[in-house]
A and B are shown apart, each in its own frame.
Chain A
Amino acid sequence: MSGWHPSTMRSVALLAYAGVFACLKIWVFTGSSLIDTCIFMAVLASIFFATTDNVAPWASRTVLAAILLFVLPVVGLANTFYLDVTTQVAIYAVLALGLNIVVGLAGLLDLGFIAFFALGAYLWAILGSTQASMFLPGSFPLPAEAFFLVLPIGVGVAALAGILLGLPVLRLRGDYLAIVTLGFGEMVRILANNLDKPVNITNGPQGIAGIAQPLNGLAIALATDAVPEYKWQALIYYFFVLCLIGCAILVNRRLDASRIGRAWVAIREDEIAAQAMGIPLVATKLIAFATGAAMAGGVGVLFAAKQTYVSPESFDFNQSIAVLAMIVLGGLGSIRGAVLGAAAVTLLNLQVLKVLSAWLNTMRADGVEFLGFSFANLPAQFEPSKYERLIFGIILIIMMLYRPQGLVPAKRKNIGIDVDSSTGKPGNQA
């Protein structure tokens, strides 16, 4: 053993870790209690470990393929809860990767990012349900397979919206962008909330239900007694979103390593110096803004199909902040960080806070006493699941004050010139 290369040792350890937890998850901890969820998170963590630099490529590929293509589908078909959680995490991860380009790489603070997501979601929600027949001629809903046509359209529409919004604002100093995007996010939400009259476009606060699901025919064909249709449908969405997140990571990586990516980082670090080096400021910023928006729009289309229901509530300011908190937590400009942050914040929101709320509620109902404090006296309005702003606020403040580079700092490649990249801090060399 001692003669092995350290990287081989780590690879073997990774394989063992992933294998053990995958087996535990598949055969032992199949339910959805707290301990089952923890084991599930341990399985997800193996994806994270597999993408570190210091394991051999063969081990990392084996683990990724096994977990993503085999373990998660198997676990998910047995208990769709996990498939839903994973898909949700992945949807937010794509959003985080989109925002990562805008905020992380180009340093443009976008506080209304969820608006582009809403554009994509409402596009498919309107076309893929009977809603469109309220104001458009023709027969709706569109056939479910039109989804594959609407997906690129959604990407285009969001990118266009990004360009139209960015064009006037990106000429100005960066701070204005924050407040304008915030206003834009609110505008889109208000429009979604109120465009049920004079013409019913968005169905107002009730939202749009009954949205067509793509490839539903396949799910029906595959359905058996043991594995009913809805499980196959969940699996189809899982693979869909896997493709999307793959694309998002690829786009992030290629752009990051390209001339444009370096121009973004240069602008982020020092706008004036970048301009002096001949970088066209507005065009370069616009590309970042539009690319991020496009990714959000695309995943929005998928979100509408997966939920089969959209309402303005899913696109409020909290959601924009949630995505920002994800990349700030993971590390601005860092791809692994964005995905990790998305997983952490989504799981916190979906799982931890809800479990905590339920637990406090039972304590309150049972009137448990702890150190002289009776839980029956706990105010009825106190529900941890409603305090997401507190959590986001704490994440943002603590990270910015004590670890601005995030949990998984972005690495810049050092080419020839001696730059202080040892700290890996984004932009602290200003």
Chain B
Amino acid sequence: MLTDMLLLLPTTLIDGLVLGLIYASIALGYTMVYGVLGLINFAHSEVFMVGAIVAIEVLIYGLAGTGLHPLIQLVVAIAVGGLAAGFLAVAIERVAYRPLRVRNAPRLVPLITTIGVSLFLQDSVRFVESLFGQFIRPFPSFPFFNRQIVLSETVFISNRTLAIIVLAVTLLAGLYYMVHRTRLGKAMRAVALDQKTSQLMGINVNKVIATTFFIGGVAGGVAGVLYALQFGRMDPFSGFIPGIKAFTAAVLGGIGSVEGAVLGGVLLGILEVVLGTYIPMWTNNAIGTEYKDIIAFSILILILIFRPNGLVGRAYAEKV
């Protein structure tokens, strides 16, 4: 059994890395919004889902039969899906959250609103998709992505995996650069530290918050397309669980920090896939893969008990 497990290890780690990079890309949306507003944006998982569904529609109705290279099709679909997700996130912020912020409502109110938005979007998308047939959308299959690159006798890597890793790493690197090296990123960090003071320094706080939602939304939408590519389908309710796990990843790394989200995402993805593969093997399927969600939630609870500020996070003093 040990040799079996060793043989499986490289593939398992690669799958874990892919899942982890996707979690990291979703987690960025949570962590950026939480950093700036101190709000868990439950609707982010639906932004992720909408990005994937829009991209799938683009591939099915827009690009099928154009004969473009699958990679180009994928990049176009990602661009459209990501933009759609970004604009959706901005629209949500404008319609549902900004009025509450202006009114200075108690914490609980925007939090409950984000849950409402999340549920509303799930069923709205389901309604729209139902008008055109099945609301579960399979990702169009491209033989190109299934092609395997042989690394050694037991280790293969498919074009799909490679594409996801390259795209996700590019996205994460771009976001890191943006947050830490640009004027906009500096403005975002300033707003996260102190809204009133940044306003006095001439920062347009509302604009920065809207931009944060947009960028987080784009990252979430792109992650959605990659997720759908990896697992071959997307439906209106499939955003929810990855969303919670991505939030877990953000907390694991330290909420509010980009590096933390990446670290937490990759760690959670690898842990989930490795434990989800090996625990059923150790226990002869007495504990099956269904328990992988429980693993993620247990990690969340353990992290909150022992290291509530995350692996790389700093402790914040509550402002009075």
Contact = CB atoms under 8 A, between A and B. Distances in A.
B318 interface: yes
B290 A194 contact: yes
A72 B247 CA distance: 48
B177 to A, nearest CB: 29
Nearest to A321: B119
A397 B244 contact: no
Given A168-B301, A183-B300, A401-B99, A394 B116 contact: yes
B140 interface: no
B72 interface: no
B319 to A, nearest CB: 9
Given A382-B130, A387-B126, A393-B118, 6 more contacts: A107-B106, A168-B305, A176-B251, A187-B294, A379-B131, A381-B130
B112 A324 contact: yes
Nearest to A175: B40
B70 interface: no
Contacts of B301: 168-169, 180, 183-184
Interface in B284-320: 286-288, 290-291, 293-294, 296-298, 300-301, 304-305, 308, 318, 320
A408 interface: no
B294 A396 contact: no
A192 B39 CA distance: 31
B107 A394 contact: no
A184 B96 CA distance: 27
**3 closest Cβ pairs, A-B complex:** A396-B116, A393-B120, A393-B119
Contact of B304 (A176, A387, A395): A176
Contacts of A324: 112, 115
B291 to A, nearest CB: 7
B300 A400 contact: no
B293 A190 contact: yes
Contact of B112 (A169, A197, A328, A394): A328
Contacts of B105: 400, 404, 428
Contacts of B117: 393, 397
Nearest to A404: B109
Contacts of A30: none
19 contacts: A103-B108, A109-B108, A169-B304, A175-B40, A175-B111, A179-B40, A179-B247, A179-B300, A190-B291, A272-B318, A328-B112, A379-B131, A381-B134, A381-B135, A387-B126, A389-B123, A394-B120, A396-B115, A428-B106
A273 B94 CA distance: 31
Interface in B29-44: 38-40
Contacts of B241: 186
B244 A183 contact: yes
Interface string B264-291: 0000000000000000000100111011
A338 B145 CA distance: 53
Q: Which of A179, A187, A198, A272 has the most CB of B within 10 A?
A: A179
Nearest to B300: A183
B129 to A, nearest CB: 9
Contacts of A171: 308
A194 B300 CA distance: 21
B107 A174 contact: yes
Contacts of A67: none
B244 A396 contact: no
A321 B117 CA distance: 12
Interface of B: 38-40, 96, 99-100, 104-113, 115-124, 126-127, 130-131, 133-135, 240-241, 244, 247-248, 251, 283, 286-288, 290-291, 293-294, 296-298, 300-301, 304-305, 308, 318, 320
A397 B130 contact: no
B113 A396 contact: yes
A193 B116 contact: no
A182 interface: yes
A289 to B, nearest CB: 15
A426 B131 CA distance: 41
A430 interface: yes
Contact of A175 (B107, B118, B134, B244): B107
A332 B135 CA distance: 35
A103 B246 CA distance: 25
B267 to A, nearest CB: 17
Interface of A: 103, 107, 109, 111, 168-169, 171-176, 178-180, 182-184, 186-187, 190-191, 193-194, 197-198, 268-269, 272, 317, 321, 324, 328, 332, 379, 381-382, 387, 389-390, 392-397, 400-401, 404, 426-428, 430
A210 B64 CA distance: 54
A396 B118 CA distance: 10
Contacts of A186: 241, 244, 293, 297
A403 B131 CA distance: 33
Q: Which of B100, B104, B109, B298 has the most CB of A within 10 A?
A: B109
A45 to B, nearest CB: 27
A172 B304 contact: yes
B244 A387 contact: no
Nearest to A328: B112
A107 to B, nearest CB: 6
A187 B116 CA distance: 22
A179 B104 contact: no
Contacts of A174: 107-108
A381 B130 CA distance: 6
A187 B297 contact: yes
A373 to B, nearest CB: 13
A111 B135 CA distance: 26
Given A190-B294, A381-B135, A400-B112, A389 B308 contact: no
A111 B115 contact: yes
Nearest to B299: A183
B112 A396 contact: yes
Contacts of A178: 40, 111
Nearest to B316: A173
Contacts of A182: 244
Contacts of B318: 173, 272
Contacts of A187: 293-294, 297-298
Contacts of B116: 392-397, 400
Contacts of A194: 288, 290-291
A102 B248 CA distance: 23
Contacts of A389: 119-120, 122-123
B237 to A, nearest CB: 9
Given A190-B291, A390-B120, A180 B300 contact: yes
Contacts of A379: 130-131, 133
A430 B106 CA distance: 7
Given A183-B244, A194-B291, A400 B304 contact: no
